[in-house]
Amino acid sequence: MMDGELRMGRLRWWHLTAVARMERVVFGPEAWSEGLLWTELAAGHDYRAVFDADRVVGYAGVALGGHEAWINNIAVDPERRRRGVATMLMDDIVARARAAGAKAVFLEVAVDNEPAQRLYDRYGFYGIGVRKNYYQFTGTDAAVMRMDL
Ligand SMILES: CC(C)(COP(=O)(O)OP(=O)(O)OC[C@H]1O[C@@H](n2cnc3c(N)ncnc32)[C@H](O)[C@@H]1OP(=O)(O)O)[C@@H](O)C(=O)NCCC(=O)NCCS
């Protein structure tokens, strides 16, 4: 598929139906529902997306507060991968976490999720712990990772 010009923007409630659809494709039974995504936005968590025209091709949510930032979610449309979309999202998160005075960024990632781990390696994330059976449907463990700012 051809890429148009990609731009970053805020994720708004009117994007959530499309995002919930992408969640189902990307995460299957672990997908966040549209209702849960609404709750995330209502809780004030900052969600940004990469758009091709008006179409969401990737999105990420971050909770900024105090001296830490938590990445809640990051996903890219399977048809748009390996073109730097997640990198745009991560660069933006790191810049905003820094600007907010955070000292570290944290996230959880499935221990068998190699693409995501490669991405996080590039940013200098390192493992600080493991949550056993973190993912409800697969029982997969999650690695808790930290990046110092
Ligand atoms: C992980 C994910 C967000 C990466 O998105 P992306 O837009 O394809 O990533 P980018 O194009 O910015 O890739 C940046 C770098 O990450 C690494 N990477 C990304 N996908 C990879 C893959 N499939 N295999 C190996 N390395 C990979 C590479 O180092 C890549 O740089 P390169 O393309 O120059 O080699 C995407 O694969 C995805 O949505 N996966 C499913 C959802 C998910 O696992 N989310 C994370 C949950 S914690």
Task: Decide if 108 is catalytic.
Answer: yes
| Side-by-side strand order, sheet with 126-131 | 6-10, 46-52, 55-65, 68-76, 104-110, 142-148, 126-131
CATH number at residue 70: 3.40.630.30
The rounded Å distance from CA 119 to ligand 1 centre is 5
Query: Atom 37 (ligand 1): residue with closest C-alpha?
Result: 115
Q: Left if phi > 0, otherwise alpha if psi is -120 to 50, otherwise beta: which for 7? A: beta
**Would you say the CB of residue 28 lies under 6 angstroms from ligand 1?**
no
Chunk the chain into consecutive blocks of 10 residues (it has 149) and report each block's average pLDDT, rounded to whole numbers: 83 96 94 95 92 96 92 96 98 96 97 97 98 92 97
Q: Is residue 25 part of a domain?
A: yes
Q: What's residue 1's pLDDT?
A: 55
Q: Is residue 139 part of a domain?
A: yes
* Domain with 127 in it: 6-148
Q: What's residue 72's pLDDT?
A: 92
Question: How many domains does the chain contain in total?
Answer: 1
**Would you say the CB of residue 26 lies under 6 angstroms from ligand 1?**
yes
Query: Residues 141, 132: contact at Cβ < 8 Å?
Result: yes
Q: What's residue 66's pLDDT?
A: 83
Look up residue 8 and give its amino acid.
M
- Looking up tokens 């930290």 gives 146
Q: Find the catalytic residue in 120, 126, 134, 135.
A: 120
Task: Decide if 40 is catalytic.
Answer: no
Spell out the alpha helix ranges (H) of the chain.
16-27, 34-42, 85-99, 114-122
Within 8 A by CB and 6+ apart from 78, the residues are 25, 26
Q: What's residue 32's pLDDT?
A: 94
